[in-house]
Structure 1
Amino acid sequence: MTDTSAAPTAPAGIPVFGDDKHLRILSTSDLAGIEISLADVVETVEDAYRTLHAGRSHNPRKLSVKPEDGHSVSYAMLGRDGSRNVVAIKTSYKHGLDKGREEQHYYTALTLYDDVTGLPVAMMDCSRIGSLRTPAVSALLARECAAPGARSALVIGTGTQGRLALPFLLTTVPGLERLMVYGTHPEGIAAVREQVRAHFPSRDVEVVTDLRAAAADADIVVATAGAHTPATVEAGWLKPGALSVLVGHGLAPSTLHRADRVIATSEAQMHVTGTDMADADGTFPAVDAELPAVIAGIITGRSSDSERIFAYNSGLVVTDIALGHRFAQLALAQELGTEVPLWQ
């Protein structure tokens, strides 16, 4: 049993997650059993952006390490959420980038500390956090930047980030009528369709094989594919008014360099993680607006109905912190997790 006799007492209304000797570990299976609505996720992520723009949160540039042969990549991200008064660090490590998906190894973890009580909140597997946060950000980009009356959306890729992209898009852009997916893995395509039906039982997804024709019809294109995808949508394929959102791979650099307007979750992070989109000289076009400012209403996401917009969706750790804290609250309420006597 955890000894809480020496634990600090939080001010009224602030939950105490543990003590200064133990760390609550939330595993993949712990988090998998927690129910959370898509709207709750979007609201939590949106609040994190608003708090960041207000200057109450801190999101330093991420650190990255990659060996010369490119077989692995690792990131470390430190941040503070000023709305929840939580400090956290996220680590991410992927091995086998030179191999197929089934041979790769990926680990990501988030450790949170309560900056009011000084107590640890939890350490958790961050894979589910990322699988929800990233499509929620794409959905917010679509809400703010898609052309008025957008009716069609194309998702490229059927991995972790692609499977919930359409349900989140339907959450923020409910007027979408044509839902399309392009992928090369049958099990992934099946998972995309399953997720849409799970959240929107009356809706289905059209599997497309002619990528150029599908991209030409799409008001919103979300590229989530892995590095080995054969998909490469060029700028000339997109119709006037189209919004293209890059999460992983599937868009050619021309969609960025020939865009009428460029939006990024963070311009600095785009320069770190989006190097494959730079031109021959290694440069990027200027970013017209960052998403936190758009969410806050300081600048508009779209200036005209006809402009083609490129949006770069890179993860900001403040959104992981906000969503991770939300999961920690839900886990604590359900008495999930294992307390480890790490500091004794």
Structure 2
Amino acid sequence: MTGTPARTDDNRPDTSAHATTLRILGTSDVAGLDISLAEVVDVVERAYRTLADGKSANPRKLTVKPDDGHSVSYAMLGRDGVREVVAIKTSYKHGLDRGRDEQRYYTTLTLYDDVTGLPVAMMDCGRIGSLRTPAVSALLARESAAPGSRSALVIGTGTQGRLALPFLLTTLPDLDRLMVHGTHPDGLAAVRAQLEHFYPGREVEVVEDVRAAAADADVVVAAAGQHTPAAIEAADLKTGALSILVGHGIAPSTLHEADRVIATSEAQMRVTGTDMADADGDLPPVDAEFPEIVAGRAVGRRSADERIFAYNSGLVVTDIALGHRFAQLAVEQGLGTRVPLWQ
């Protein structure tokens, strides 16, 4: 464990004595960092603005997947031009052909200070992803949901589904009907627990007929795993609905029959969204990318009755911004272990 380093004149940690060491932040270190949902949304939104302003770099992710599809791995490199931080994120998931309890998932984020040229930290990125992704969905909903939206449906109760409703309430506080569809009792209990933790007294309605529930939902967040039986079609959605794809749970028709298509990154959608392609293997063009919407150079919604499809794929610049904030908090609290990696 290490204490808080001295500060330099530019308000960056003085890490000159640690050029050959790396601060490791394990799962328990990251879990112990206190951050509000509103701050997460703010950090993520600022990362999008920085990218839209051309101050950050977010190249397309690299993907490796064996022919039998039992695993998938990603590598993402990026640079935050305001924080002046370079980072590499890796993700590896094994057992995609098995049940959720048998799957293995590992993800890490390694940060480097691009002013001092020194390493900042390497951390478990699981919590960052579990916060960043629903925060992006909440921002998509803020910018693209129909005016007066009051109901939301979340499909899936895994990592990405459990915080979806609290984040949606952070950006759309007028939501008064909250619905969730899931098949795992533990997951449903976790959804209830997270909602009670962040919004005491708010109730969530567990729905079994997901297609009927979709007909009443202004916002649909599809965050289920690939084995979900849920597959909402475009015809199931109400006029003016916003459907956000995070994982699985909505059918390709919701994309191909949408009046407007938004993506956090069109390039990434064409890499990771191939399961939404039509019979010819094609995906429709994207009408607007989300960083441009956040920056005010594009609009999320043009009319109240548009059915909008939004593709939420992770951009590493948002991981960098949130990961760097976590690293700052960890340094302030003296968390982590120094490893002499380059000695």
TM-score by length of structure 2 reads 0.97
Q: Which amino acid aligns with 1:81?
A: D
User: Does the aligned pair in 2 maintain the 1:17–1:332 contact within 8 Å?
Assistant: no
Q: Within the alignment, does 1:12 sit opposite 2:44 as a pair?
A: no
Aligned to 1:122: 121
Note the C-alpha offset of 1:280.
Answer: 1.2
Q: Within the alignment, does 1:74 sit opposite 2:73 as a pair?
A: yes
For 1:74 and 1:8, the matched residues in 2 are separated by 38
Aligned to 1:135: 134
TM-score by length of structure 1 reads 0.97
Q: Which amino acid aligns with 2:13?
A: P
Q: Mapping of 1:1-344 within 5 angstroms?
A: 10-17=8-15, 19-344=18-343
Q: Which amino acid aligns with 1:125?
A: D
Describe the SS at the equivalent of 1:217: coil
For 1:8 and 1:190, the matched residues in 2 are separated by 44
For 2:90 and 2:212, the matched residues in 1 are separated by 39
Note the C-alpha offset of 1:79.
Answer: 0.1
What RMSD, in angstroms, separates the aligned Cα atoms of the two structures? 1.4
For 1:70 and 1:20, the matched residues in 2 are separated by 40
Identity of aligned residues (%): 76
For 2:6 and 2:169, the matched residues in 1 are separated by 44
Number of residue pairs the alignment of both structures matches = 340
Q: Which amino acid aligns with 1:72?
A: S
Q: Which amino acid aligns with 1:28?
A: T
Describe the SS at the equivalent of 1:310: strand
User: Does the aligned pair in 2 maintain the 1:153–1:220 contact within 8 Å?
Assistant: yes
Describe the SS at the equivalent of 1:343: coil
Gaps of 5+ in 2: none
**CA offset digits 1:11-53 (Å, max 9, x no partner):** 4222335621110000000011111000000000000000000
Structure 1 segments (4+ residues) deviating >6 Å:
none
Describe the SS at the equivalent of 2:143: helix
- Identify if the C-alpha distance between structure 1 residues 169 and 9 changes in structure 2 by more than 3 Å, giving closer, same or farther: closer
User: Does the aligned pair in 1 maintain the 2:246–2:313 contact within 8 Å?
Assistant: yes
For 1:59 and 1:148, the matched residues in 2 are separated by 32
**CA offset digits 1:147-177 (Å, max 9, x no partner):** 0000000000000000000000000000100
For 2:328 and 2:15, the matched residues in 1 are separated by 8
User: Does the aligned pair in 2 maintain the 1:8–1:117 contact within 8 Å?
Assistant: no
Query: Does 53-62 or 15-24 show the bigger shift?
Result: 15-24
For 1:201 and 1:17, the matched residues in 2 are separated by 42
**CA offset digits 1:273-319 (Å, max 9, x no partner):** 11100111111111000000000000110000000000000000000
